[in-house]
Structure 1
Amino acid sequence: MTLEEQLKQKTYYKMFINEHENMHPIRVLGEAFQEEASKDLPNLSAIRFAQGEVYFHHKDFETAIFKWENITDELVPWAKKNTADAYYELGLLSTAEDIYTAISTDDATLNTEVALQLFSLYIERGKTDAAIATIKRTIAANPEYPNVTEIARTFFEEQQDWNHAVELAVSEAKRSEDLKWFEVLTKYVDNGVTKNHAPSYFTEALILLFNLEQKKFEQLVSSLWKSYEHKESYFTWIREINHLLLQLELEREDNWHELSRLHKNAYFNLIEGRYFIKMLQEFIPDLLTNWLRLADERNVVLASAAVLSWNELFPTSMSQIIVSEAEKLISITETDIDELEESLSLFDTIIDWAQAHDMGENNRFKWLVDQLVDFDRQHLLITGLTGSGKSTFVNTVLGEDLQDSPTSSMVMFSAGEEEEISEITDQEVSILNGFPEFQERMDRRRHALESIIEFRLPNGFLQENKVAFIDTPGLKGSHNDRYEVLKNLQVADAVLYVLDGNSPFTDKERGVLAQIQELAPDIPVHFLLSKMDAIAGEQEAVRIYEETKSSIHSIYPDSTVFAFSSQYDRAQQLKDIKEFIHSIKINRNLEDKRLAKLLYFIRTTIASLLQKRIDVEDQLVESIRWNEEMYTKLNGAVNQLKDTEVQKTRAITKSYRAIREAIQKEIAQEVPAMLKECSALIKEESNFSTIHMELNDEMNGKLQNYLEQTVMPKFYRSLQEWIASSKEEFDQAQEFLTEMGEGFNQMYGEEHLALVCDFKVLEDWLRDTDRMTSRFQLETVNILLRRTPSQFILKSAGKLFGAISQNKTMLYNKYKAFVENEDYAETVAEVCKQFFQPFELFEKSLERDVTLFFKNPLNVLTAAVGEAKLGIESNQDLLNKMNTNPEMFRDPLTLFGVRLRQFEWMTVAGKGIQTVY
């Protein structure tokens, strides 16, 4: 054992034992001490140092400290370290720390041992930062010291101090080039504790590992890739790793399966429509370059196609060397990639993106694609000019009159366990309720071509021959009209064109057939010559058949011509049709042809969505313009309604006040005259001491009778006339609002506004006037009992002189003159007050009632104004966003086109299939 190891383990004392192994070390060292002390120049430090070790091992720490404090030679630094160890064991940590930190030596081993002791001490005292600083200094100064890095790693892991743990693993991996540390780092990455480190932090270590062990390099890259995949630093990682890979000598023959898979997944995730092209242009070229350099056999064609499709979009972004290599590889390399699965994945991605961005359900395209991947049956599209007899052919084969009128939509008849009829539009898929509803759809003309009808029915012929009939509306009209009928032509595996045997293969039909060839040059066209029974004579029928067949073969040499008539024997006809269908069915490369059609429909879907983007913008502009126009007109309507309300309120209240004032005027005229007539009741023989009370009662009786019998009925009739007149006013207003509502509804294109007034107001008026005019009770009016001076004198004279006969004539004349000359103004005022009191509240509520009458139309118009304003604001906001970020729609669709072009490259190169455009 070396001296250094003895000092570290405190076994220096064994140097003094030698042949005295059977004696206790204390005795041996004591005798050695005595022997040395007897010398002239004794050196006792070494013996004291050894004695201190023995005492330390026997836990006599105080004696050990005493011995070590008396060391004077080169063992002083170690003695100080041992002294600190003793204080550490005694639990005097502060003293131990002071001694440790005071030790100054050039001995790397001693410095490391002191540092490790301090490290443990700091941990025990809870000084984590000091412990970290100490162990990091120790590793930096003496990383080769046994176990020091393992001690640090264990400590960092226990503390879950992953940043320092990762730093340790990276630095030790680079320093030691030991694969163990790369494995530790990989474990950290897999556990997700490296996310706080930038991708560039691992670059040097990765380069080193590539040169050491490529499989472990791939494993670590894979772990790092996954750790960054869903983090904000993902794009930084993509840039960093691809820049790194460009520097390395990658060989495809080294089978980089995992890296190939990672590049493939990253590429497809990046171009699935979530990111803008401007962002992707920064790193996609490097990504594709590296993918092609390391792609395994399964992905080399896919990577080549990706390079070529991206290069088509951005010709200057890819190295020409890489593009040339991709062209070479894609032409010579066989692949077992499932292009159909990949294409369907692309289609699903496009549809999901469209739904997420409010671009519709696109059910029609989804249905068409579903038919293409149904390889259990082939699709025979049956078409021809209107009246050619194709519906008769369909009914004959299916054995049912399913087409008893011209077809308006495309209908696919297929075998099913039970009858089920569906209508497919871009917006929805709906189930039709049996044949009557199906027929109703067939009779429909408006927007009929925007839907597809799928008619499943139990049918032995379709089931046995594994075929579906696709019946189209009859072809007529212009080139564009026919295109609307034939736009789904690519779903067919073959076309059966029906010719009228009475006039077959006309110039018009040749034009239609040329259009079919233009739209689908890869789809074989065969012919059905119908209505053959209508031709007079068998020889004539044969002649027409042969001539027609010859004319057809001159243009379509591979076509088959079949003669048909509904009058032929059905059993024999079905047998012949079965043979005919089997002869025209595609028996080779059906899946490849369907794949080409699928790519066509993907391209059509992308084009449709791009057009929808344009349509949406146009619709937003038009919607804003329309809403602005409606907003102006609706605001004008609101103002018109308010003016009408003011006008009607003024007219109705004015009319009512005129009636009240007329009645009031009549009362003012009639009441005084009526009361003056009461003077006839005064006689010379009257009792003048009570005559004023008798007259007052009589006058009140007359007033009660007059008001109840004359005035109230007249007032009632006037009110009825007023209500009738008000109804006319209201009717005029309702008629005006009805016309207004109809005008707006024409602009809305639906019954959107219902401007209905509340005529219940008239019912309330009728009820209220009936109640108020049914009976009137006048409270007694003090006509002659008031304390006016004239009345007071007259009543006093009556009481004083009424008993004297010669004074009665005088009183008679006075009373009579008084009654006849009184103006009764106060009485009239009192009578009017009582009479009109019930009607005062009614009159005050008239304005409110008219407002209630117009309340609903005003609310409806006000709400419509709010809708128009909201429509302007929301549509303008969306339009601004679309104009501000046009790439939000354009870029994803462009990237979908890149993926589509990629599959087209693969299809053409791998299978020699003609791409459908």
Structure 2
Amino acid sequence: MVEEQLINKQYYETFTKDIEKEHPISILGQAYLYEQEKEIPDLSYIRFAQGEIYFHNKDYEAAIFKWENITNELEPWAKKNMADAYFELDLLPTAEEVYKSVKSDNVTLNTEISLQLLSLYIVRDKMESAERVIKKIVSMNPDYPNVTDIAKTFYEKHQDWDNAVGLAVQEAIRTHSLKWFDIVRKYVDLGYTKQMKPDYFVELLMTLFELDQKQFESMTVSLWKSYHSEPAYLQWLNTINRLMLDIEEPTDHTSWHELSVIYKDTYFELMDGRYFIKELSALLPQFLSNWVKITDTSQSLFASTAALAWNEMFPSSLSEVTVEEAKGMMKHARYEFDGLKQGLELFETVMEWAGQKEIQVAQRFTRTVKEMLDFDVNHLLVAGSGSTGKSAFINSIIGESILGSPTASVTVIKNQGEQEINEITNQEIYPILTIEEYYERTALPAGNETYFEVRLPLPYLQDHNLALIDTPSTGGDLFKFLPMADALLFVSNINDPINSQEQELLKKIKKRAPKLQVHFLLNKVDTIYNEQEAERILDETSERIHANFPHARVFLYSSLYSSSQQRKQWTEFIQSAFSYRNLEEERTEKLLYLVKEFIHYLLEKRVEMEREFVHSIMWNEEMVKKLNGAIHQLDDLEKEKIKLIKNSYHTFKEDARKDLKNKIPQIFKDSSELISEDSDFRNIHHRLNEEMNARVHQYIERTVLPHLYDSLQNWISYSQEEFTESQAKLDEMSEGFNSLYEEEKIQLLGDFRVLDDWRRDAERMTSSVQLEKVNILLKHTPSQLLLKSAGKLFGALPQNKTMLYNSYKKFLENEDYQEVAESIVNNFLLQFDIFEKSLDRDVSFFFREPLSILRTTEEETNIEIQENKEVLDKMKSNPELYEDPLALFELKLRQYEWVVNS
């Protein structure tokens, strides 16, 4: 009672009790005066009460003054109240300091102080401090009124879902209040618990199970769904497995319908190929045991067959008790199972998985499933060994000559308003436009999975809702089409009925399809000499047939006879063979068989893929060697052609150089004819120098350049021949590689455009010449200086001209012009020299693209080798990546077989 007064600041009522007419201030004032008159007054109680009155009247400073002087046991409460006053005065730091200064063992007081601090921290936006305080309050005094609700509101407002969930779980376990369990479930449904470890909820679930099993189921299902698609999903399944093993079986299975359904959905999900068997081997035995234990009647068929299928694949992994319980449950289970739908879904799941693994699936699987789903057509598979007249029989029945001589391919014949013929291979469906083309195609060797589908207007098939499947006499592809057949007609020659070879074939058929209806037709009865003999053979053969096929019907037939009796008998057989049968049930079993065959086909594909990778690696490694050899060969060819083409060019260029070096000095010497005794020797050297330059230029322009042009054209023609020869080798190389690749993968083309560049350069270099004048006679050699000086000094004197003439002539004819000639030649042939230096690069241009193609192909092949090796290593080191999903698909299939046969 007193604590409540202290909490609400109503302690003053202890002084004002039973005094209604006077104001509390007056009453407390009188009490204060009275207390002072005592020998040892104790004013703390009165001051405390006065502070409350001042506080309620918002005189916070007076209240603080009163509470500051409390020295008795109310002192901690007085300090708390002072802090409240500072809080009201918005002196928040002071209020916080005073709250923290209070030291007391009173839980209620400490709780109230903590609640006030919480409010203060929220106002001051000190969320971390507020969180610490609220945790302290809940830990210290969780039963204090509204404390846990305040904490819940605080966490939710600030979206602190970890603490909100923790609080709700803690309170649910502590209080056993369904209210808190409902709050936890709400958080779970909103997704606020996904990041928490599943073990965190074990105690919560165990507590709830003891309180309310229905609520336990709802909570478990909510947690189950929340962990779905999360990283901790398998951890959750292991957690709930252990928990379910520890709890007692529910008293009423029907009350756990939700849990039964989620067990079923989870089981089928675990079977979809995304998990490895090693992940499931430790999980599923407990999972299945629990499922069998808790399942309700609506799910008991799935639970029991799942357990039996698992135990069949992994013997002794389930306890004998669970296995026996599953067997008993399966016998009494009542459930409408749509096997065809479930089988189709499983087939599509496996197909999707194969697509993800980039596995090419034979078209016959999808086409067979399509045929199974067509309940308007009955499929009769016609089989038999060679020389039985099987094709002639089919042609006589349908009234069309569709089938020719026996082929190695299966043909499916159906009625359709317009003609449509297709060749169906592993990869594609090829349209065939005419019957003649169909005959041509069936005469060719067929691929392993190839078959033909012929659709024509065929009234007989239409009238009897019939499709015929003609199989090769060898029986190789017969077994692949057994799942498509609703019945099998075995055609035998009446002259050798059901011989040893046919008996072996029939044994294999019965083993592969034990429930398939098999009937027999003894053909070529026209070859028997009388009716009595035919009847005797029929009776004897029927007796032998019925020993293995007791329900089979046996007929006599001749494709040459068109008797109404024979046709009537055959028609009656067709009508009876497909009457009064549960076709959906039969096709469900066949579909499941096809799925099993499909799974085994994919397992074989795995081995085939590995072989293909090994072969591809070996083949590509050999190709790398060949490509590398071709690159070296092409490098050598390039070097050879560079050498030949450069040598050819260098030869005619140096011949021109040699000729020029010989000819130019002679031109200079022959220039002596320009001198006579009448020449003006004072300027003769200038005129001679000009004339010598002119004669050299004229010689190069009129003689040398045309000759060089012809030489260049001959050289280009020679180079073209060398390039053409190189291209022939490139073509040979391309053809060789493309033959190995079996496609036009490599085309090595040299760049003949370099010849066009050379032709333009030839035109440019030989079209004209620009030579600088050379100082032939204007050099400052002693002899030249002497002649020039003499000419200037004596040139005007007649008596000296003869001497000068003879001296100049002798000088010109005997002078060494090699240095000058070499300078002129080097200057003239400079562009030819530069051109020669570029020939290495130009010839390389011709080979550049072919070499680039070869090197790129080699690099790509090496990359492919490395990628294939990595895939192969992964396949070998982790076979479970491929094999485990197929094993789980087969496990799921086995469960369906249990269901169908239950």
TM-score class normalised by the smaller sequence: 0.7 to 0.9
Q: Of the candidates 848, 851, 858, which is equivalent to residue 855 of structure 1? A: 848
Deviates more, 1:820-829 or 1:160-169: 820-829
The SS at the match of 2:265 is helix
2:626 paired residue number: 633
Partner residue of 2:246? 247
Counterpart in 2 of 1:592?
585
Residue 624 of structure 2 contacts residue 862 of structure 2 at CA under 8 Å; is this kept in 1?
Answer: yes
Distance 1:96 1:451 in 2: 91
Cα separation, partners in 2 of 1:405 and 1:727, compared to 1, 3 Å: farther
Q: Does 1:899 align with 2:897?
A: no
The residue matched to 2:272 in structure 1 has which SS? coil
- The 3-state SS of whatever aligns with 1:891 is helix
Deviation at 1:184, TM superposition (A): 1.3
C-alpha distance in structure 2 between counterparts of 1:135 and 1:684, whole Å = 134
1:780-825 deviations in Å (ceiling 9; x for gaps): 7766676655566557767777777777766665555455544543
Matched residue, 1:354:
354
Q: 1:219: Cα distance to partner?
A: 0.6
What is aligned with 2:221? 222
Deviations 1:289-347 (A, max 9, x none): 11111112232222222222322333343222222322332344333233333333332
Distance 1:688 1:60 in 2: 139
Which residue does the alignment assign to 2:544? 554
Note the 1:753-902 alignment, pairs <5 A: 753-766=746-759, 768-769=761-762, 772-773=765-766, 789-790=782-783, 814=807, 817-818=810-811, 820-826=813-819, 828-829=821-822, 832-833=825-826, 836-902=829-895
Q: How has the CA–CA distance of structure 1 residues 681 and 53 changed in structure 2, closer, same or farther, with 3 Å as cutoff?
A: closer
- Asked if the contact 2:425–2:447 (Cα under 8 Å) also holds between the matched residues in 1, the reply is no
**8 A contact 1:78–1:110 mirrored in 2:** yes
Counterparts in 2 of 1:346-425, with a 5 A limit? Answer: 346-361=346-361, 363-385=363-385, 389-391=389-391, 403=403, 409-415=409-415, 424-425=424-425
Partner of 1:310: 310
Aligned to 1:722: 715
Percent identity between the two aligned chains: 47
Deviation at 1:283, TM superposition (A): 1.9
1:523 alignment counterpart: 516
Greater displacement, 35-44 / 20-29: 35-44
The equivalent residue for 1:292 is 292
Q: Within 5 Å, which residues of 2 pair with 1:536-551?
A: 540=530, 544=534, 547=537, 550-551=540-541
Q: Is the contact between residue 252 and residue 293 of structure 1 (CA under 8 Å) also seen in structure 2?
A: no
Q: Matched residue of 1:449: which SS? A: coil
Give 3-state SS (helix, strand or coil) of 2:468's partner.
Answer: strand
The offset of 1:496, in angstroms, is 3.1
TM-score (norm 1): 0.85
Contact 2:522 2:554 in 1 (8 A): yes
Aligned counterparts of 2:130 and 2:76: Cα–Cα separation in 1: 22
Equivalent residue, structure 2, for 1:475: 473
Distance 2:675 2:31 in 1: 169
CA spacing shift, 1:399–1:657, aligned 2, 3 Å = same
Q: Give, in angstroms, the shift of residue 243 of structure 1.
A: 0.6
Point out the more displaced range, 684-693 or 165-174: 684-693
| Bigger shift: residues 494-503 or 29-38 | 29-38
Taking the aligned partners of 1:224 and 1:21, their CA distance within structure 2 comes to 60
Pair 96,741 (structure 1): closer, same or farther in 2 beyond 3 Å: closer
Structure 2 equivalent of residue 439 of structure 1: 438
Distance 1:372 1:468 in 2: 12
Distance of 1:779 and 1:553 partners within structure 2: 120
AA partner of residue 241 (structure 1): I
Change (3 A) 1:872 1:431: closer
**Residues 804 and 126 of structure 1: CA distance in aligned 2, closer, same or farther (over 3 Å):** closer
CA shift digits 1:29-66 (9 cap, x unpaired):
67788889899999987777666655554445556566
Q: Per the alignment, do residues 441 and 613 of structure 1 end up closer, same or farther by CA in structure 2, a change over 3 Å counting?
A: farther
1:685-696 correspondence runs (5 A):
none
SS in structure 1 at match of 2:193: coil
CA distance in 2, matches of 1:450, 1:223: 49
Deviations 1:584-628 (A, max 9, x none): 226423223222222222222222222222222232233223333
AA aligned to 1:352 is E
Q: Relative to structure 1, is the Cα distance of residues 505 and 682 closer, same or farther in structure 2, using a 3 angstrom cutoff?
A: farther
Question: Matches of 1:96 and 1:777 in 2, distance apart?
Answer: 106
The one-letter code sitting in structure 2 at the alignment partner of 1:735 is A
Given that 2:409 and 2:442 are in contact with CA atoms closer than 8 Å, whether structure 1 keeps it comes out as no
Q: Label 1:386 to 1:828 Cα distance change in 2 as closer, same or farther (>3 A).
A: farther
How many Å separate the matches in 2 of 1:673 and 1:33?
151
One-letter amino acid of the structure 2 residue matched with residue 258 of structure 1: E
| Amino acid in the other structure paired with 1:740 | M
Structure 2, gaps ≥5 residues long? none
Query: Does the 8 Å CA contact 1:549/1:561 hold for their aligned counterparts?
Result: no
| 1:9-408 equivalent positions in 2, closer than 5 A | 9-10=8-9, 21=20, 56-61=55-60, 85-93=84-92, 109-251=108-250, 253-255=252-254, 256-361=256-361, 363-385=363-385, 389-391=389-391, 403=403
1:242 and 1:216 map into 2 onto residues whose CA distance is 18
CA shift for structure 1 position 761: 3.1
Equivalent pair of 2:308/2:327 in contact (CA under 8 Å): yes
Structure 1 position 191, deviation (Å): 1.6
**SS of residue in 1 equivalent to 2:143:** coil
Distance 2:58 2:687 in 1: 140
Give the structure 2 partner of residue 487 of structure 1: 480
CA distance in 2, matches of 1:715, 1:551: 101
Higher mean displacement: 673-682 or 732-741? 673-682
Question: What secondary structure, in the 3-state scheme, does the structure 2 residue paired with 1:273 have?
Answer: coil
C-alpha distance after superposition, 1:706-729 (max 9, x if no partner): 556655555444444434443443
Structure-2 change in CA distance of 1:219 and 1:570 (3 Å): farther
Deviation at 1:400, TM superposition (A): 5.8
Kindly provide the CA deviation profile for residues 122-147 of structure 1, in whole angstroms up to 9, marking residues without a partner as x. 44444444444444444444433333
**1:892-913 Cα distance to aligned partner (Å, 9 max, x none):** 22222322222233333x1xxx
Provide Cα deviations, 1:551-602, integer angstroms capped at 9, x if missing partner: 2552245334556666666999887655443222264232232222222222
Q: Deviations over 1:634-653 (max 9, x none)?
A: 22321222122112211221
Cα–Cα, structure 1 residues 403 and 105, in superposed 2: closer, same or farther, change >3 Å?
same
Question: Which residue in the other structure is 1:914 paired with?
Answer: none
Change (3 A) 1:527 1:832: farther
The 3 A distance-change label for structure 1 pair 678 and 310 is same
> Deviations for 1:382-415, whole angstroms, at most 9, x for unmatched residues?
3445675555555566666655676554343445
Residues 514 and 705 from structure 1, CA distance in 2 versus in 1: closer, same or farther, beyond 3 angstroms? farther
* CA contact 2:493–2:522 (8 Å) conserved in 1: yes
Q: What secondary structure, in the 3-state scheme, does the structure 1 residue paired with 2:438 have?
A: helix
Query: Alpha carbon RMSD of aligned pairs, Å?
Result: 4.2
Pair 1:733-2:726 in alignment: yes
Contact 2:221 2:262 in 1 (8 A): yes
Deviation at 1:225, TM superposition (A): 1.2
C-alpha offsets along residues 200-249 of structure 1, whole Å, 9 cap, x if unaligned? 22211211111110000001111111222222222222111111110100
1:613 maps to 2:606:
yes
Q: Provide the C-alpha distance between the structure 1 equivalents of 2:155 and 2:300, rounded to a whole number of angstroms.
A: 44
Q: What are structure 1's unaligned runs of at least 5 residues?
A: 477-481, 911-917
What SS class does the counterpart of residue 448 from structure 1 fall into?
coil
Judged with a 3 Å threshold, the aligned counterparts in structure 2 of structure 1 residues 868 and 78 are, in CA distance, closer, same or farther, namely closer
CA contact (8 A) 1:3 1:12 kept: yes
Which amino acid is the alignment partner of residue 746 of structure 1?
S
Give 2:638's aligned amino acid. Answer: E
Say if 1:167 and 1:697 are closer, same or farther in 2 by CA, change over 3 A: closer
- Report the CA distance between 1:774 and its aligned residue: 5.8
Distance 1:859 1:31, change over 3 A: closer
